[in-house]
Amino acid sequence: MEDSLLILKIKSVYLNILRMMAARYKRMHLDVTPVQGRIIMYIFKSDDEVCQKDIEKTIACKKSTLSAILNTMEKNHLIKREGSSNDSRKNVIVLTKHSMDIANKLKDDIIEINKLLGENITHDEYIIFSGVLEKIEENLERI
């Protein structure tokens, strides 16, 4: 397989997933982007305090890009920045009541999206696909 084809296919699938999620969120009257939804769900599912560095690792974007996203989310009353209870030098990011409501709607929708994306894929195919994705991630770390 030609390398550029693999890159283009992965990008195409990713962009199509983002478009589909944005359309679903709009139909659900959720005023968030897919990336904001992902950040909300990360914080929602976390048992520990979450700071910007934690989100950077999960979202895999530049610090400046994430700062802009978080600033917009704060302006839109989706998150609040507060002092950490464990480390006074650190700010943590917490969800507002509004984003908690969004998270509760998204948690069920994520299950539905995964179910729809997995239609017509056997368990064995899923295992192989997951293994291939893991190998691609490992290859990325070496580049």
SS3 for 92? strand
> pTM to 2 decimals?
0.84
pLDDT at residue 29, rounded to an integer: 95
E runs forming strands in 12-90:
79-83
pLDDT at residue 85, rounded to an integer: 81
Output DSSP code: residue 2: -
Domain boundaries, the chain: 34-142
SS3 for 22? helix
Phi-psi region of 77 (alpha: psi -120 to 50; beta: other; left: phi over 0): left
Tell me: the pLDDT tens digits for 81-111? 998 787 777 889 999 999 999 999 999 999 9
What mean pLDDT is reported for the chain? 91
Quote the CA–CA distance of 34 and 29 in Å, as a whole number: 13
Take residue 58 and report the two structure tokens written for it: 């999960």
Residue 73 binned pLDDT confidence (cut-offs 50, 70, 90)? very high
Residue-level length of the chain? 143
Of 91, 78, 94, nearest to 37 by C-alpha is 78
Q: Does 7 score more than 90 pLDDT? A: no
Phi-psi region of 60 (alpha: psi -120 to 50; beta: other; left: phi over 0): left
pLDDT at residue 100, rounded to an integer: 96
Q: Does 141 score more than 90 pLDDT? A: no
Question: CA angle at residue 44 from 74 to 70, to 5 degrees?
Answer: 25
Q: Which CATH class is domain 34-142?
A: mainly alpha
Residue 61 binned pLDDT confidence (cut-offs 50, 70, 90)? confident
Output DSSP code: residue 143: -
